[in-house]
Structure 1
Amino acid sequence: MICLFGGTFDPIHLGHLHAAVAVCDALALDEVRMLLSARPGHRGATGATARQRWEMLVLACADDRRLAPDDTELRRAEGRGRPSYTVETLEDLRAGAPDERLVWVIGSDAYRDLETWHRWREVFALADLLVLRRPGAELRLAGALETETRQRRVERFTAPAGQVRVLEAPMLEVSASAVRESLAGGGTAAADLLPRAVYTYIYEHHLYGVIGDA
Protein backbone atom coordinates (compact mmCIF):
# COMPACT_ATOMS: atom_id res chain seq x y z
CA MET A 1 0.00 0.00 0.00
CA ILE A 2 1.18 3.50 -0.88
CA CYS A 3 -0.39 6.12 1.37
CA LEU A 4 -0.15 9.81 0.50
CA PHE A 5 -0.95 12.61 2.93
CA GLY A 6 -1.09 15.73 0.78
CA GLY A 7 -1.12 19.31 1.95
CA THR A 8 0.23 22.79 1.41
CA PHE A 9 1.69 22.62 4.94
CA ASP A 10 1.77 26.41 5.30
CA PRO A 11 3.16 25.80 7.84
CA ILE A 12 3.31 22.13 8.84
CA HIS A 13 1.92 21.89 12.39
CA LEU A 14 1.23 19.33 15.09
CA GLY A 15 -2.29 18.78 13.81
CA HIS A 16 -0.88 17.51 10.52
CA LEU A 17 1.59 15.23 12.28
CA HIS A 18 -0.99 13.90 14.73
CA ALA A 19 -3.36 13.10 11.86
CA ALA A 20 -0.62 11.36 9.87
CA VAL A 21 0.24 9.18 12.86
CA ALA A 22 -3.47 8.37 13.30
CA VAL A 23 -3.52 7.20 9.67
CA CYS A 24 -0.46 5.01 10.28
CA ASP A 25 -2.17 3.42 13.26
CA ALA A 26 -5.57 2.98 11.57
CA LEU A 27 -4.13 1.34 8.46
CA ALA A 28 -1.23 -0.43 10.22
CA LEU A 29 1.30 1.32 7.98
CA ASP A 30 5.06 1.55 8.26
CA GLU A 31 5.10 4.76 6.22
CA VAL A 32 2.94 7.66 5.13
CA ARG A 33 4.29 9.90 2.40
CA MET A 34 3.86 13.54 3.38
CA LEU A 35 3.32 15.03 -0.07
CA LEU A 36 3.86 18.77 -0.37
CA SER A 37 1.29 20.40 -2.64
CA ALA A 38 3.03 22.91 -4.87
CA ARG A 39 1.72 26.45 -5.24
CA PRO A 40 3.28 29.60 -6.69
CA GLY A 41 6.53 29.99 -4.79
CA HIS A 42 6.07 33.61 -3.74
CA ARG A 43 3.10 34.40 -1.52
CA GLY A 44 3.94 37.89 -0.44
CA ALA A 45 6.09 39.42 2.26
CA THR A 46 4.53 37.46 5.13
CA GLY A 47 4.20 34.09 3.42
CA ALA A 48 6.48 31.12 2.81
CA THR A 49 7.82 30.02 -0.54
CA ALA A 50 7.29 26.48 -1.74
CA ARG A 51 10.92 25.68 -0.94
CA GLN A 52 10.58 27.05 2.58
CA ARG A 53 7.45 24.97 3.13
CA TRP A 54 9.41 21.94 1.94
CA GLU A 55 12.29 22.64 4.33
CA MET A 56 9.85 22.98 7.22
CA LEU A 57 8.20 19.70 6.24
CA VAL A 58 11.54 17.90 6.29
CA LEU A 59 12.28 19.30 9.75
CA ALA A 60 8.86 18.30 11.06
CA CYS A 61 9.14 14.70 9.88
CA ALA A 62 12.68 14.13 11.11
CA ASP A 63 11.66 12.65 14.47
CA ASP A 64 9.28 9.97 13.15
CA ARG A 65 10.58 7.46 10.61
CA ARG A 66 7.01 6.63 9.56
CA LEU A 67 6.54 10.12 8.10
CA ALA A 68 8.37 10.43 4.78
CA PRO A 69 8.55 13.88 3.14
CA ASP A 70 7.74 13.73 -0.58
CA ASP A 71 8.50 16.58 -3.00
CA THR A 72 7.12 14.93 -6.15
CA GLU A 73 4.57 17.65 -6.85
CA LEU A 74 7.01 20.42 -6.02
CA ARG A 75 9.59 19.09 -8.47
CA ARG A 76 6.97 18.63 -11.16
CA ALA A 77 5.63 22.15 -10.71
CA GLU A 78 9.10 23.64 -10.86
CA GLY A 79 9.97 21.62 -13.95
CA ARG A 80 6.79 22.46 -15.85
CA GLY A 81 6.35 26.00 -14.63
CA ARG A 82 2.68 25.40 -13.77
CA PRO A 83 0.65 23.94 -10.91
CA SER A 84 0.93 20.22 -10.27
CA TYR A 85 -2.37 18.40 -9.90
CA THR A 86 -3.25 15.49 -7.65
CA VAL A 87 -4.62 13.45 -10.55
CA GLU A 88 -1.25 13.72 -12.33
CA THR A 89 0.62 12.52 -9.26
CA LEU A 90 -1.72 9.55 -8.94
CA GLU A 91 -1.41 8.76 -12.65
CA ASP A 92 2.38 8.61 -12.33
CA LEU A 93 2.18 6.37 -9.27
CA ARG A 94 -0.43 4.12 -10.84
CA ALA A 95 1.69 3.71 -13.98
CA GLY A 96 4.60 2.51 -11.87
CA ALA A 97 2.51 0.29 -9.59
CA PRO A 98 -0.59 -0.83 -11.50
CA ASP A 99 -1.68 -3.38 -8.89
CA GLU A 100 -0.66 -1.47 -5.76
CA ARG A 101 -3.31 -0.01 -3.48
CA LEU A 102 -3.00 3.78 -3.47
CA VAL A 103 -4.60 5.69 -0.63
CA TRP A 104 -4.97 9.44 -0.81
CA VAL A 105 -5.53 11.05 2.60
CA ILE A 106 -7.64 14.20 2.57
CA GLY A 107 -9.24 16.36 5.24
CA SER A 108 -13.03 16.62 5.29
CA ASP A 109 -12.95 20.34 4.45
CA ALA A 110 -10.84 19.73 1.36
CA TYR A 111 -12.93 16.72 0.40
CA ARG A 112 -16.07 18.84 0.30
CA ASP A 113 -14.34 20.94 -2.38
CA LEU A 114 -13.26 17.93 -4.43
CA GLU A 115 -15.53 18.87 -7.33
CA THR A 116 -13.39 21.98 -7.89
CA TRP A 117 -10.26 19.88 -8.46
CA HIS A 118 -8.77 19.32 -11.88
CA ARG A 119 -10.29 16.11 -13.38
CA TRP A 120 -11.72 15.24 -9.99
CA ARG A 121 -13.75 12.21 -11.03
CA GLU A 122 -10.61 10.50 -12.32
CA VAL A 123 -9.12 10.52 -8.82
CA PHE A 124 -11.53 7.74 -7.84
CA ALA A 125 -10.27 5.55 -10.68
CA LEU A 126 -6.70 5.92 -9.48
CA ALA A 127 -6.84 5.68 -5.68
CA ASP A 128 -8.86 4.99 -2.57
CA LEU A 129 -9.63 8.10 -0.53
CA LEU A 130 -9.29 8.26 3.25
CA VAL A 131 -11.23 11.27 4.52
CA LEU A 132 -10.15 12.65 7.90
CA ARG A 133 -13.05 14.04 9.86
CA ARG A 134 -12.36 17.00 12.13
CA PRO A 135 -13.45 16.63 15.77
CA GLY A 136 -17.18 17.21 16.05
CA ALA A 137 -17.60 17.85 12.32
CA GLU A 138 -20.10 16.25 10.00
CA LEU A 139 -19.32 15.21 6.44
CA ARG A 140 -22.07 17.15 4.70
CA LEU A 141 -21.93 16.74 0.95
CA ALA A 142 -24.17 17.65 -1.97
CA GLY A 143 -24.59 17.07 -5.66
CA ALA A 144 -22.38 14.75 -7.66
CA LEU A 145 -19.84 14.38 -4.86
CA GLU A 146 -22.51 13.20 -2.43
CA THR A 147 -23.63 10.58 -4.94
CA GLU A 148 -20.08 9.39 -5.65
CA THR A 149 -19.30 9.16 -1.94
CA ARG A 150 -22.48 7.28 -1.05
CA GLN A 151 -21.81 4.71 -3.75
CA ARG A 152 -18.14 4.28 -2.88
CA ARG A 153 -18.11 4.53 0.92
CA VAL A 154 -16.75 1.54 2.83
CA GLU A 155 -15.69 0.70 6.36
CA ARG A 156 -12.51 -1.02 5.18
CA PHE A 157 -10.56 -0.79 1.93
CA THR A 158 -10.80 -3.93 -0.20
CA ALA A 159 -9.84 -2.61 -3.65
CA PRO A 160 -6.75 -0.86 -5.09
CA ALA A 161 -8.84 2.21 -5.98
CA GLY A 162 -12.33 3.64 -6.10
CA GLN A 163 -13.37 3.42 -2.44
CA VAL A 164 -13.95 6.12 0.18
CA ARG A 165 -13.44 5.60 3.89
CA VAL A 166 -14.01 8.19 6.61
CA LEU A 167 -11.57 7.98 9.50
CA GLU A 168 -13.24 8.96 12.73
CA ALA A 169 -10.36 9.34 15.15
CA PRO A 170 -9.43 11.93 17.78
CA MET A 171 -7.42 14.64 16.05
CA LEU A 172 -5.98 17.93 17.21
CA GLU A 173 -8.13 20.94 16.39
CA VAL A 174 -5.39 23.01 14.78
CA SER A 175 -5.45 24.95 11.53
CA ALA A 176 -2.59 26.49 9.57
CA SER A 177 -4.51 29.76 9.31
CA ALA A 178 -4.81 29.98 13.11
CA VAL A 179 -1.08 29.29 13.43
CA ARG A 180 -0.28 32.05 10.92
CA GLU A 181 -2.55 34.50 12.72
CA SER A 182 -0.89 33.73 16.04
CA LEU A 183 2.57 34.21 14.57
CA ALA A 184 1.65 37.47 12.84
CA GLY A 185 0.04 38.79 16.01
CA GLY A 186 3.09 38.07 18.13
CA GLY A 187 1.23 35.56 20.27
CA THR A 188 2.88 32.61 21.97
CA ALA A 189 0.20 30.02 21.16
CA ALA A 190 1.98 29.00 17.96
CA ALA A 191 4.90 27.64 19.97
CA ASP A 192 2.60 24.89 21.29
CA LEU A 193 1.16 24.12 17.85
CA LEU A 194 4.38 23.66 15.88
CA PRO A 195 7.33 21.27 16.08
CA ARG A 196 10.13 23.15 17.82
CA ALA A 197 12.41 22.95 14.77
CA VAL A 198 9.70 24.47 12.57
CA TYR A 199 8.99 27.24 15.07
CA THR A 200 12.69 28.12 15.14
CA TYR A 201 12.91 28.02 11.34
CA ILE A 202 10.01 30.45 11.01
CA TYR A 203 11.72 32.97 13.24
CA GLU A 204 15.10 32.51 11.60
CA HIS A 205 13.56 33.26 8.20
CA HIS A 206 11.07 35.88 9.46
CA LEU A 207 8.06 34.12 7.94
CA TYR A 208 4.39 34.93 8.50
CA GLY A 209 5.16 38.40 9.81
CA VAL A 210 7.12 37.35 12.90
CA ILE A 211 9.44 39.83 14.55
CA GLY A 212 12.31 39.08 16.91
CA ASP A 213 13.68 35.75 18.05
CA ALA A 214 11.94 32.50 18.92
Structure 2
Amino acid sequence: MLGGTFDPVHLGHLRSALEVREALALDRLHLVAAPRPPLRDTPQVCAEERFALLEAGVGDTPGLVADDRELKREGPSYSVDTLAELRREVGGEARLCMVLGHDAFLRLTEWHDPEAIFSLAHLVVIARPGYRDTRSKALAELVANREVDSVAELMARPGGRFLPLELASRMAISATDVRARLAEGKSVRYLVPDAVEARLFARGLYQTGR
Protein backbone atom coordinates (compact mmCIF):
# COMPACT_ATOMS: atom_id res chain seq x y z
CA MET A 1 0.00 0.00 0.00
CA LEU A 2 1.01 3.57 -0.69
CA GLY A 3 -1.13 6.00 1.26
CA GLY A 4 -1.55 9.73 0.89
CA THR A 5 -3.92 12.64 0.66
CA PHE A 6 -3.28 12.90 -3.10
CA ASP A 7 -4.18 16.59 -2.89
CA PRO A 8 -4.16 16.30 -5.92
CA VAL A 9 -2.60 13.16 -7.41
CA HIS A 10 0.19 13.98 -9.87
CA LEU A 11 2.63 12.18 -12.15
CA GLY A 12 5.24 11.98 -9.40
CA HIS A 13 2.87 9.88 -7.29
CA LEU A 14 1.88 7.65 -10.17
CA ARG A 15 5.33 7.16 -11.66
CA SER A 16 6.73 6.31 -8.22
CA ALA A 17 3.92 3.81 -7.64
CA LEU A 18 4.59 2.14 -10.96
CA GLU A 19 8.35 1.94 -10.38
CA VAL A 20 7.87 0.56 -6.85
CA ARG A 21 5.56 -2.13 -8.20
CA GLU A 22 8.15 -3.09 -10.82
CA ALA A 23 11.12 -2.95 -8.43
CA LEU A 24 9.42 -5.17 -5.84
CA ALA A 25 7.62 -7.37 -8.42
CA LEU A 26 4.31 -6.76 -6.64
CA ASP A 27 1.06 -8.32 -7.79
CA ARG A 28 -0.64 -5.01 -7.09
CA LEU A 29 -0.06 -1.72 -5.33
CA HIS A 30 -2.97 -0.07 -3.53
CA LEU A 31 -2.94 3.73 -3.59
CA VAL A 32 -4.94 4.43 -0.45
CA ALA A 33 -6.59 7.84 -0.27
CA ALA A 34 -6.68 9.26 3.26
CA PRO A 35 -9.57 11.49 4.37
CA ARG A 36 -7.48 13.53 6.82
CA PRO A 37 -4.20 12.06 8.08
CA PRO A 38 -3.54 12.97 11.75
CA LEU A 39 -0.09 14.46 11.05
CA ARG A 40 -0.94 16.41 7.88
CA ASP A 41 -2.71 19.69 7.19
CA THR A 42 -6.36 19.48 6.23
CA PRO A 43 -6.60 18.78 2.47
CA GLN A 44 -7.93 21.63 0.36
CA VAL A 45 -10.43 19.45 -1.51
CA CYS A 46 -12.92 16.96 -0.05
CA ALA A 47 -12.01 13.29 0.11
CA GLU A 48 -14.54 12.27 -2.54
CA GLU A 49 -13.12 14.70 -5.10
CA ARG A 50 -9.54 13.67 -4.34
CA PHE A 51 -10.45 10.03 -4.76
CA ALA A 52 -12.19 10.73 -8.07
CA LEU A 53 -8.98 12.42 -9.25
CA LEU A 54 -6.96 9.43 -8.04
CA GLU A 55 -9.22 7.03 -9.95
CA ALA A 56 -8.86 9.19 -13.06
CA GLY A 57 -5.10 9.22 -12.69
CA VAL A 58 -4.73 5.47 -12.15
CA GLY A 59 -7.13 4.65 -14.98
CA ASP A 60 -6.50 1.15 -16.30
CA THR A 61 -2.82 0.98 -15.31
CA PRO A 62 -2.05 -2.71 -14.66
CA GLY A 63 -1.28 -3.51 -11.01
CA LEU A 64 -2.26 -0.11 -9.60
CA VAL A 65 -5.45 0.09 -7.52
CA ALA A 66 -7.19 3.27 -6.37
CA ASP A 67 -8.35 2.23 -2.88
CA ASP A 68 -11.00 4.17 -0.93
CA ARG A 69 -11.23 1.93 2.17
CA GLU A 70 -10.01 4.68 4.53
CA LEU A 71 -12.70 7.03 3.27
CA LYS A 72 -15.33 4.53 4.42
CA ARG A 73 -13.89 4.14 7.92
CA GLU A 74 -15.08 6.13 10.91
CA GLY A 75 -12.51 8.05 12.97
CA PRO A 76 -8.85 8.93 12.22
CA SER A 77 -6.97 7.37 9.30
CA TYR A 78 -4.36 5.14 10.91
CA SER A 79 -2.15 3.23 8.50
CA VAL A 80 -1.77 0.37 10.96
CA ASP A 81 -5.53 -0.26 10.73
CA THR A 82 -5.37 -0.34 6.94
CA LEU A 83 -2.43 -2.75 7.05
CA ALA A 84 -4.32 -5.01 9.46
CA GLU A 85 -7.26 -5.05 7.06
CA LEU A 86 -5.02 -5.83 4.09
CA ARG A 87 -3.25 -8.55 6.05
CA ARG A 88 -6.57 -10.23 6.76
CA GLU A 89 -7.38 -10.09 3.05
CA VAL A 90 -4.10 -11.52 1.74
CA GLY A 91 -3.38 -14.01 4.55
CA GLY A 92 -0.46 -14.50 6.89
CA GLU A 93 2.10 -15.76 4.38
CA ALA A 94 1.75 -13.15 1.63
CA ARG A 95 4.41 -10.45 1.33
CA LEU A 96 2.85 -7.15 2.35
CA CYS A 97 4.63 -3.79 2.09
CA MET A 98 3.82 -0.26 3.18
CA VAL A 99 5.49 2.33 0.96
CA LEU A 100 6.42 5.77 2.29
CA GLY A 101 8.12 8.85 0.99
CA HIS A 102 11.25 9.88 2.85
CA ASP A 103 9.68 12.96 4.43
CA ALA A 104 6.90 10.85 5.95
CA PHE A 105 9.42 8.25 7.08
CA LEU A 106 11.29 10.83 9.16
CA ARG A 107 8.10 11.31 11.24
CA LEU A 108 7.31 7.61 11.60
CA THR A 109 7.81 7.56 15.37
CA GLU A 110 4.96 10.11 15.69
CA TRP A 111 2.53 7.73 13.98
CA HIS A 112 -0.09 5.69 15.77
CA ASP A 113 1.50 2.42 17.01
CA PRO A 114 4.51 2.39 14.64
CA GLU A 115 5.89 -0.85 16.13
CA ALA A 116 2.74 -2.66 14.99
CA ILE A 117 3.47 -1.73 11.38
CA PHE A 118 6.40 -4.15 11.36
CA SER A 119 4.27 -6.94 12.81
CA LEU A 120 2.01 -6.63 9.78
CA ALA A 121 4.20 -5.61 6.85
CA HIS A 122 7.54 -4.54 5.47
CA LEU A 123 8.38 -0.84 5.25
CA VAL A 124 9.73 0.47 1.95
CA VAL A 125 10.94 4.08 1.91
CA ILE A 126 11.32 5.97 -1.35
CA ALA A 127 14.21 8.39 -1.51
CA ARG A 128 12.98 11.86 -2.43
CA PRO A 129 15.01 14.51 -4.29
CA GLY A 130 16.50 17.04 -1.85
CA TYR A 131 15.94 14.99 1.32
CA ARG A 132 18.82 13.79 3.48
CA ASP A 133 18.69 10.68 5.63
CA THR A 134 18.81 12.38 9.04
CA ARG A 135 17.11 9.83 11.27
CA SER A 136 16.33 10.79 14.83
CA LYS A 137 17.55 8.55 17.63
CA ALA A 138 14.03 7.22 18.16
CA LEU A 139 13.61 6.44 14.46
CA ALA A 140 17.01 4.77 14.27
CA GLU A 141 16.01 2.55 17.19
CA LEU A 142 12.67 1.72 15.60
CA VAL A 143 14.22 0.43 12.38
CA ALA A 144 17.37 -1.02 13.99
CA ASN A 145 18.10 -4.60 12.94
CA ARG A 146 15.27 -4.46 10.42
CA GLU A 147 17.07 -2.82 7.48
CA VAL A 148 17.98 -4.97 4.48
CA ASP A 149 19.97 -4.19 1.36
CA SER A 150 18.00 -5.95 -1.35
CA VAL A 151 14.53 -6.82 -2.54
CA ALA A 152 15.41 -10.51 -2.27
CA GLU A 153 16.14 -10.13 1.45
CA LEU A 154 12.95 -8.13 1.92
CA MET A 155 10.77 -10.70 0.22
CA ALA A 156 12.26 -13.67 2.07
CA ARG A 157 9.55 -13.25 4.71
CA PRO A 158 6.01 -11.81 4.91
CA GLY A 159 6.88 -8.65 6.83
CA GLY A 160 8.99 -7.01 9.51
CA ARG A 161 11.82 -5.56 7.44
CA PHE A 162 12.83 -2.14 6.15
CA LEU A 163 14.24 -1.29 2.70
CA PRO A 164 15.30 2.16 1.46
CA LEU A 165 14.54 2.24 -2.26
CA GLU A 166 15.92 4.60 -4.87
CA LEU A 167 13.79 5.01 -7.97
CA ALA A 168 15.10 5.75 -11.43
CA SER A 169 12.84 8.71 -12.20
CA ARG A 170 12.86 10.62 -8.88
CA MET A 171 10.36 13.15 -10.26
CA ALA A 172 10.51 16.38 -8.27
CA ILE A 173 6.81 17.20 -8.54
CA SER A 174 4.86 18.26 -5.46
CA ALA A 175 1.14 18.59 -4.83
CA THR A 176 1.91 21.95 -3.18
CA ASP A 177 3.31 23.27 -6.45
CA VAL A 178 0.41 21.86 -8.46
CA ARG A 179 -2.08 23.57 -6.14
CA ALA A 180 -0.18 26.85 -6.32
CA ARG A 181 -0.10 26.77 -10.11
CA LEU A 182 -3.82 26.09 -10.28
CA ALA A 183 -4.55 28.93 -7.85
CA GLU A 184 -2.46 31.28 -9.99
CA GLY A 185 -4.09 30.21 -13.24
CA LYS A 186 -0.91 28.57 -14.54
CA SER A 187 -0.67 25.40 -16.57
CA VAL A 188 -0.31 21.99 -14.89
CA ARG A 189 0.14 20.17 -18.20
CA TYR A 190 2.73 17.35 -17.88
CA LEU A 191 2.56 17.57 -14.06
CA VAL A 192 -0.68 15.59 -13.82
CA PRO A 193 -2.28 12.99 -16.13
CA ASP A 194 -4.53 14.36 -18.86
CA ALA A 195 -7.62 12.84 -17.24
CA VAL A 196 -6.76 14.52 -13.92
CA GLU A 197 -6.13 17.87 -15.62
CA ALA A 198 -9.50 17.65 -17.38
CA ARG A 199 -11.35 16.97 -14.12
CA LEU A 200 -9.47 19.69 -12.23
CA PHE A 201 -10.61 22.32 -14.72
CA ALA A 202 -14.08 20.91 -15.26
CA ARG A 203 -14.73 21.05 -11.51
CA GLY A 204 -12.77 24.25 -10.84
CA LEU A 205 -10.69 22.52 -8.18
CA TYR A 206 -7.94 24.47 -6.37
CA GLN A 207 -8.63 27.46 -8.57
CA THR A 208 -9.06 30.86 -6.93
CA GLY A 209 -12.54 32.24 -7.33
CA ARG A 210 -14.07 28.94 -8.49
Deviation at 1:196, TM superposition (A): 0.9
Cα deviations by residue, 1:130-178 (Å, 9 ceiling, x for unpaired)? 1000135322101221122232110230221110001112220111111
Match of 1:179 in 2: 178
Which residue, 59, 62, 66 being the options, matches 1:65? 62
Deviation at 1:127, TM superposition (A): 0.7
Provide closer, same or farther for how the CA distance between residues 30 and 159 of structure 1 changes in structure 2, counting only shifts above 3 A: closer
Match of 2:80 in 1: 87
Alignment gaps of 5+ in structure 2 = none
Does the Cα contact within 8 Å between 1:8 and 1:36 map onto a contact in 2?
A: yes
Aligned positions, number = 200
Deviation at 1:73, TM superposition (A): 0.9
Which residue, 129, 139, 150 being the options, matches 2:144? 150
Amino acid at match of 2:107: D
Alignment of 1:120-159 (within 5 A): 120-155=114-149, 156=151, 157=154, 158-159=156-157
Alignment of 1:26-45 (within 5 A): 26-39=23-36
The TM-score, its normalising length taken from structure 2, stands at 0.88
Task: Look up the SS of the partner of 2:145 in the other structure.
Answer: helix
Amino acid at match of 1:89: T
Higher mean displacement: 31-40 or 111-120 = 31-40
Alignment of 1:156-171 (within 5 A): 156=151, 157=154, 158-170=156-168, 171=170
Match of 2:5 in 1: 8
Q: Flag as ranges the 4+ runs of structure 1 deviating above 6 A.
A: none
Give the whole-Å Cα distance in 1 for the aligned partners of 2:133 and 2:9. Answer: 24
Give the whole-Å Cα distance in 2 for the aligned partners of 1:101 and 1:123. Answer: 13
Amino acid at match of 1:72: R
The TM-score, its normalising length taken from structure 1, stands at 0.87
Give the whole-Å Cα distance in 2 for the aligned partners of 1:93 and 1:63. Answer: 22
Identical amino acids, percent of aligned pairs: 38
Q: Does residue 100 of structure 1 match 2:94?
A: yes
Give the whole-Å Cα distance in 2 for the aligned partners of 1:127 and 1:172. Answer: 26
Cα deviations by residue, 1:77-103 (Å, 9 ceiling, x for unpaired)? xxx2x2221111112222341222210
Give the whole-Å Cα distance in 2 for the aligned partners of 1:148 and 1:110. Answer: 14
Which residue, 192, 196, 199 being the options, matches 2:197? 199
